[in-house]
Amino acid sequence: MSIQRFVRLSFMTVLLILTMLPAVAQDDDILTIYSGRNESLIGPILQQFTEDTGIAVEVLYGGTSAVANQILTEGENSPADVFIAQDGGALGALAAAEMLHRLPEATLERVSDEAFVSPDGAWVGLSGRARVLVYSPEALEGLGLQLPESIFDLTDEQWRGHVGWAPTNASFVANVTAMRVLLGDQATAEWLTGMLANEAQAYPKNTPIVQAVIDGEIAVGLVNHYYLFRFLAEDPEITARLHFFPGGDLGSLINVAGAAILKTSDQLIDALALVDYLLSDTAQEYFAAATYEYPLVDTVEPSVDVPALEDIDAPAIDLSDLADLQGTLEMIENSGALD
């Protein structure tokens, strides 16, 4: 769908929003975006949005949880028009606080998989990322190990000292939150304790985990799928590969970056134009090609060799339920993983 058609659609469908919600004033101020996505990832497509539509934006960047907490603290005084989040949990927290507009059906329907859209229409996914195990085939062969069937197998003795994880990484925290939602706090705490007892190697984020696998420091690591492709773009000879856990295992959680419009916004037309733009083929192709994430619209394919989203046997979970990220951080800290 063309950019021009999206902008026209925004002007028509915003009327639907206004029929369901209290009227707010629309003026010509700059569109204010609060982004929990890193500027290097989202900044280029926001700049292109301004160039293509003439709508000026001002962006506040920060960690997704911190930005969501700032919006909650600001409440009705928040200047934010649009919130772009790194995961569905933060969006779910704002939806639960009744701070988000319901998006029009024409916008929501751009994403065909209902798993990546808020059940109440409060937010929409923009791009997808799968949790995976990055591994070195050579290291596994040397150790006589087979790829695990479950993320819970990594607490077995045979994996002692061979697994990398990033306990403070936002995607890891979301993954552990999904464990809490589906299995409960006790089982999740036991898994964290088991990983620590099995000498899981801690790294500050995903990139050094992949590097450690490539360098032979560890055999496997828990990461998002797209990090390996950043390395492969620099060196196609790298032999590290991705393993998608089968059977609906929690190690194959698919999360999304997503967007929502704040009820505090007085820029509804421009805000909706931005959300629709981020779901256009132009933006979806950017996410696929520049960040190696999964596009979420049917008209755009992944740019790298990964299983189709529908072929990943991911756990069934409402991403909005991953809202208690702070509780998960406290659990991770209490486990000793941050020591």
Tell me the per-residue pLDDT of 224-245, one tens digit each, with 9 for 90 and over.
999 999 999 999 999 999 999 9
Residues composing the chain? 339
From CA 171, how far away is CA 49, in angstroms rounded? 27
CA distances from 308 to 69, 82, 174, 225, 245 (A): 34, 29, 22, 12, 14
3-state DSSP assignment of residue 182: helix
Residues 6 or more apart whose Cβ sits within 8 Å of residue 10: 269, 272, 273, 276
Mean pLDDT for the stretch of residues 6-18: 39
What are the respective helix, strand and coil percentages of the chain, to the nearest 5? 50, 15, 35
Average pLDDT, the chain: 91
Instruction: State the Cα angle at 254 between 91 and 323, rounded to 5°.
Output: 30
- Report the pLDDT value the prediction gives residue 195, as an integer from 0 to 100: 98
Residue 13 predicted with pLDDT over 50: no
The answer to whether 247 and 144 are in contact (CB under 8 A) is no
Q: What percent of the chain has pLDDT over 70?
A: 92
pLDDT of residue 339: 86
The pLDDT score that the predictor gives to residue 326 is 86
- Residue 26, pLDDT > 70, answer no
pLDDT digits (tens, 9 = 90+) for 104-144: 999 999 998 999 999 999 999 999 999 999 999 999 999 99
Largest pairwise CA distance in the chain: 66
Q: Is the pLDDT of residue 20 over 50?
A: no
pLDDT at residue 59 is higher than 50 = yes
The stretch 250-259 carries a mean pLDDT of 96
AA identity, residue 168: T
Say if residue 4's pLDDT is above 50. Answer: no
Q: Which residue has the tokens 């989040």?
A: 85
pLDDT at position 17, please? 38
Is 14 in contact with 269 (CB distance < 8 Å)? yes
pLDDT classification of 21: cutoffs 50, 70, 90:
very low
Give the integer Cα–Cα distance in Å for 337 and 109. Answer: 41
Q: What's the pLDDT score for residue 84?
A: 98
* CB-CB contact of 182 with 317 (8 Å): yes
What's the pTM?
Answer: 0.87
Instruction: Name the one residue in this structure whose structure tokens are 């469908």.
Output: 13
Query: Cα–Cα distance between 26 and 21 in angstroms, integer?
Result: 14
Q: Is the pLDDT of residue 155 over 70?
A: yes
pLDDT at residue 23 in the model: 33
Q: Which two tokens stand for residue 103?
A: 């998006």
pLDDT at residue 170, rounded to an integer: 87
State the Cα–Cα distance between residues 131 and 250, nearest whole angstrom. Answer: 9
Please write the tens of the pLDDT for every residue from 279-334: 999 999 999 999 999 999 999 999 999 999 999 999 999 999 998 988 999 999 99
Place of tokens 């132009």: 282
Domains of the chain, with CATH numbers? 3-128+254-307 (3.40.190.10), 129-253+323-335 (3.40.190.10)
pLDDT at 5: 42
SS3 23: coil
* Tokens of residue 333, six digits: 């800290």
Q: What pLDDT does 325 receive?
A: 86
Q: Looking at this protein, which amino acid is placed at residue 200?
A: A
What is the C-alpha radius of gyration for the chain, rounded to an integer number of angstroms?
20
Name residue 335's amino acid: S
Asked if residue 10 has pLDDT above 60, the reply is no
For CA atoms 174, 180, 185, 189, the dihedral sign is negative
> 12 or 229, which is more confident?
229
In the predicted model, what is the mean pLDDT of residues 2-25?
Answer: 38
Query: 21-30, 136-145, 248-257: which has the minimum mean pLDDT?
Result: 21-30
Q: Is 72's pLDDT higher than 80?
A: yes
